[in-house]
Amino acid sequence: MRTIEYRTCPLCEATCGLELHMEGEEIALVRGDKDDVFSKGYLCPKGAALKDLVADPDRLRAPLVRRGDEFVEVTWDEAFAAVREGLMGVIERHGRDAVGAYLGNPCAHNLAPIIYNRALLQGLGTTNVFSASTVDQMPKHVSAGLMFGTPISVPIPDLDRTDHLLMLGANPFASNGSLMTAPDLPGRLRAIRARGGRIVVVDPRRSKTAEEADEWVAIRPGTDAHLLFGLVNVILASGRADLGRAAGITDGMEEIERLAPHFTPEAVAPVCGVPAADIRRMATELLDAPTAAVYGRIGTCTQEYGTLASWLVDVVNVLTGNLDRPGGALFPKNAAGSANTGGTPGRGRGFRIGRRHSRVEGKPEVLGEFPVATLASEILTPGAGQIRALVTVAGNPVVSTPDAGRLDAALGDLEFMVCVDIYRNETTRHADVILPPGGILTKEHFDLAFYSLSIRNVANYSPPINELPPGEMHEWEILLRLAAIAGGAQGSAEECSGLDDFIISGLVTKAAQRDDLPSAEEMLEALALRRGPARVVDFMLRTGPYGDRFGAEPDGLSLAVLEANPHGVDLGPLQPRLPEVLRTPTGRIDLAPALMVADVEARLVPSLGAPIPGLVLVGRRDLRSNNSWMHNIKVLVKGKARCTLHIHPDDAADLGLTDGAPARVRSRVGEVVIPVEVTDGIRPGVVSIPHGWGHGVPGTDMRVAAEYAGVNSNLLTDASVIDPLSGNAVLNGIPVEVAVA
């Protein structure tokens, strides 16, 4: 007999509601949930492939321990004993900083790591923490933190109401959106045009999103900050700047006015490869539109001027009066656990970077992390504090981070490595121990991270559907057992549940200082029937901005309310939140943070006259990929090969390259051989290779992925160039030479 279960898709930021048709414990069919308050039935091919992901025979179901060149399945006790020996051995010999940690992207999509990675890091007590954030959105955290006071205070385009959307470096038709959580981005974008609005897409490639837009602006890679400052210049010169809701609470206008004259459209046009007249027109369109939003994503972050570009996106939103107004860019109000809903409304401790610096390259710490681009150096460079052991959670840095060849070699040099992961892939093949968490259907799910970035305020909780099969372990238990071991204990089940109790009582004790909440004892008692991530989410919801405050607001949210609403609870469109949302020490917006101004003067202004490089490489995403890890699913990889080199016909002709033939692509750090795909959908002078491929290397065990291996584009990206403010890697605009192979 079939039963139906509802669940939020955990695979990307779009948070679609799934309708799972179950036959016993197995998924027979995946449909979009028409009644989901947010996604209303939308589903992409990856969501539909959840069935195959759950059933994938290569997905690990038991812990693996390396014996020589072989991996053998062991019991959890044996696996944790091996971790204890390996990890504590390194710590005893070399100290705590000798253990590095890398947290990958799925950590943000899974409750257990979002909640418990912190305990793991505290247990490890290392300063050598790295994550996928520094190959992704760290620049936006820095700009949001400095301007608005918390790294999660990112203004989100009000897609469903805006009249004009200027998008830079994003392709939501493929990615389904990022730092802009919304199911059915294709539908929502088309709706903007259907209601008479306009979409302008800035991208070196004519992406699917650019094709669907009113205008494609084919920018030279890495020059978004220049273009955006050009817009600022025109807006200020027009005399039409109007801060709207930011007026009277914004500092730094004089600094913007002082810097802007450097960036006339004529000065930036040759750098960006965008005609000055177009830049003027783009600025005027933003000013003329009743409402408008500027939005930048991965292409604007993973480049040399990532933090400046991320900042300037919001400077333009402020100067055009669009910050915090419906139809512009607004701050979401997450129902649970957001830094900009806690503490004192309108004021906070602000945001700092550089509280310490990395050992080898002296890079500043950001959000407690160092740039993952420097991980290989930290492993390979001898001396006190050298990384000799690595813990990874849901990460594949050998495919996902720059100068991947060097990191790959470095991981082979480690004394010990433990990975919490579901596959034996390019990274985890180096592990001594792999600890696989139970499958998706055995987990509870709530998008703790992405509801802070959502175009609508929504809350949706998915309870586990299946019991954990015998011999498997929940991810949260794995993480807490690792935390216990790192802290010197045994890593037993008792210690795990003790740590879980300790964590919730810490949260509750702190919250009990608020005078609108009951005592810690009362709150703990009300939460007592739950444990693990569900208990923490219940606590966060009940003490959050829509919470029931443990009874004080009888109509407020709790986990029980979400359990009773399997299609989610809609909390309405985004509302203006200034100045309450701010957590800066001044209680004001800092439009020109000193660090930004200094970087503009040190790098951006001088770059205006710099020579233009020859061919440069950018990335791209494909609808049926998910970074590196979903290529083991046949329905998602079959068909025409997608890991190809896109090149403009003129460049192809110059280089003697023909469609389908192999090309050799060489950068300062590496080279790959890849089939050519000639297309006029890319700017001359730019070539593109998607990231996330390069499978089938020895020691991996992903049979389908090995058949559709592709090449690892990060063998070409250079780890030595880093956005200085955020530590973010530069993955776009890489100088390359291309030749017939």
Ligand X SMILES: Nc1nc2c(c(=O)[nH]1)N[C@H]1C(S)=C(S)[C@@H](COP(=O)(O)OP(=O)(O)OC[C@H]3O[C@@H](n4cnc5c(=O)[nH]c(N)nc54)[C@H](O)[C@@H]3O)O[C@H]1N2
The binding site for Mo ion (CB under 5 A) comprises 136
Residue 424 interacts with ligand X (CB under 6 A): yes or no: no
Among 207, 341, 452, 466, contact with ligand X (rule: CB under 6 A): 207
Question: Where in 673-692 is the site for ligand X (CB under 6 A)?
Answer: 691-692
C-beta closer to ligand SF4: residue 624 or 648: 624
C-beta closer to Mo ion: residue 136 or 408: 136
Is 489 within 8 Å of 495 (Cβ atoms)?
Answer: yes
- Cis peptide bond prior to 579, omega within 30° of 0: yes
Which structure tokens are listed for 534?
Answer: 């569900």
Give how many residues touch ligand X by CB under 6 A: 64
CA 284 to CA 538: how far, in whole Å? 47
Residue 233 interacts with ligand X (CB under 6 A): yes or no: no
C-beta closer to ligand X: residue 5 or 421: 421
Residue that the structure tokens 């949001």 belong to: 144
Residue 63 interacts with ligand X (CB under 6 A): yes or no: no
Give the three-state DSSP class for 377.
helix
394 binds, among Mo ion, ligand X, ligand SF4, none (CB under 5 to 8 A by kind): ligand X
266 binds, among ligand X, Mo ion, ligand SF4, none (CB under 5 to 8 A by kind): none
Residue 437 interacts with ligand X (CB under 6 A): yes or no: yes
233 binds, among ligand X, ligand SF4, Mo ion, none (CB under 5 to 8 A by kind): none
Q: Are strands 17-23 and 26-32 parallel, antiparallel or unpaired?
A: antiparallel
CA 311 to CA 530: how far, in whole Å? 41
In the complex, minimum distance from the CB of residue 20 to ligand SF4, in angstroms, rounded to a whole number: 12
C-beta closer to ligand SF4: residue 47 or 106: 47
Count of CB atoms within 10 A of residue 650's CB?
12
Among 340, 425, 726, 728, contact with ligand X (rule: CB under 6 A): 425
In the complex, minimum distance from the CB of residue 323 to ligand X, in angstroms, rounded to a whole number: 21
C-beta closer to ligand SF4: residue 28 or 552: 28
In the complex, minimum distance from the CB of residue 273 to ligand X, in angstroms, rounded to a whole number: 11
In the complex, minimum distance from the CB of residue 401 to ligand SF4, in angstroms, rounded to a whole number: 23
Count the alpha carbons within 13 Å of 202 in the hemisphere toward its beta carbon: 31
16 binds, among Mo ion, ligand SF4, ligand X, none (CB under 5 to 8 A by kind): ligand SF4
The contact set with ligand SF4 (CB under 6 A) reads: 9, 11-12, 14-16, 43-44, 46-47, 176, 183
Residue 619 interacts with ligand X (CB under 6 A): yes or no: yes
| Residue positions counted in the chain | 741
Residue of closest CB approach to ligand X: 299
DSSP state of 362: -
C-beta closer to ligand SF4: residue 19 or 203: 19
What distance lies between CA 676 and its chain's CA centroid? 29
438 binds, among Mo ion, ligand X, ligand SF4, none (CB under 5 to 8 A by kind): none
CA 156 to CA 302: how far, in whole Å? 19
In the complex, minimum distance from the CB of residue 10 to ligand SF4, in angstroms, rounded to a whole number: 7
120 binds, among Mo ion, ligand SF4, ligand X, none (CB under 5 to 8 A by kind): none
Please list the residues that pair with 458 across neighbouring strands: 570
11 binds, among Mo ion, ligand SF4, ligand X, none (CB under 5 to 8 A by kind): ligand SF4
Among 128, 176, 374, 377, contact with ligand X (rule: CB under 6 A): 176
Residue 140 interacts with ligand X (CB under 6 A): yes or no: no
Is 372 within 8 Å of 131 (Cβ atoms)?
Answer: yes
CA 579 to CA 589: how far, in whole Å? 9
Question: Where in 84-113 is the site for ligand X (CB under 6 A)?
Answer: 104-106, 110
Give me the amino acid identity at 590. D
C-beta closer to ligand SF4: residue 44 or 115: 44
On the 0-12 / 13-18 / 19+ scale of CB atoms within 10 A, 2 is exposed
**DSSP-derived secondary structure for 125-149:** T-S-EEEGGGGTTHHHHHHHHHHHS
Is 537 within 8 Å of 111 (Cβ atoms)?
Answer: yes
Is 616 within 8 Å of 736 (Cβ atoms)?
Answer: yes
731 binds, among Mo ion, ligand SF4, ligand X, none (CB under 5 to 8 A by kind): ligand X
Among 295, 416, 629, 708, contact with ligand X (rule: CB under 6 A): 629
460 Cβ contact list (under 8 Å, min separation 6): 8, 15, 17, 36, 37, 38, 446, 447, 562, 565, 567, 568, 569
Query: By rule CB under 6 A, what string of x and - marks binding of each residue 358-397 to ligand X?
Result: -----------------------------------xxxxx
Among 15, 117, 358, 626, contact with ligand X (rule: CB under 6 A): 626
Is 179 within 8 Å of 310 (Cβ atoms)?
Answer: no
C-beta closer to ligand X: residue 149 or 332: 332
C-beta closer to ligand SF4: residue 46 or 631: 46
Alpha carbon separation from 591 to 30, 254, 312, 429, 464 (Å, rounded): 46, 10, 9, 46, 44
In the complex, minimum distance from the CB of residue 176 to ligand SF4, in angstroms, rounded to a whole number: 4
461-464: long-range contacts, CB 8 A cutoff, minimum separation 24:
461/537, 461/559, 461/562, 461/563, 462/6, 462/7, 462/8, 462/566, 463/534, 463/563
CA 118 to CA 632: how far, in whole Å? 30
Residue 717 interacts with ligand X (CB under 6 A): yes or no: yes
Alpha carbon separation from 575 to 141, 146, 158, 329 (Å, rounded): 21, 22, 10, 10
Q: With contacts defined by CB under 6 A, name the span among 548-556, 647-655, 658-666, 725-733 that binds ligand X.
A: 725-733
CA 111 to CA 113: how far, in whole Å? 6
629 binds, among ligand X, Mo ion, ligand SF4, none (CB under 5 to 8 A by kind): ligand X
CA 188 to CA 455: how far, in whole Å? 11
Q: Return left, alpha or beta for 120; rule: phi > 0 is left, psi -120 to 50 is alpha, else beta.
A: alpha
Residue 139 interacts with ligand X (CB under 6 A): yes or no: no
Residues interacting with ligand X, by CB under 6 A? 12, 104-106, 110, 132, 135-136, 168-172, 174-176, 178, 202-205, 207, 219, 221-222, 224, 297-300, 302-303, 393-397, 400, 420-423, 425, 437, 475, 618-623, 625-629, 691-692, 713-714, 717, 731-733
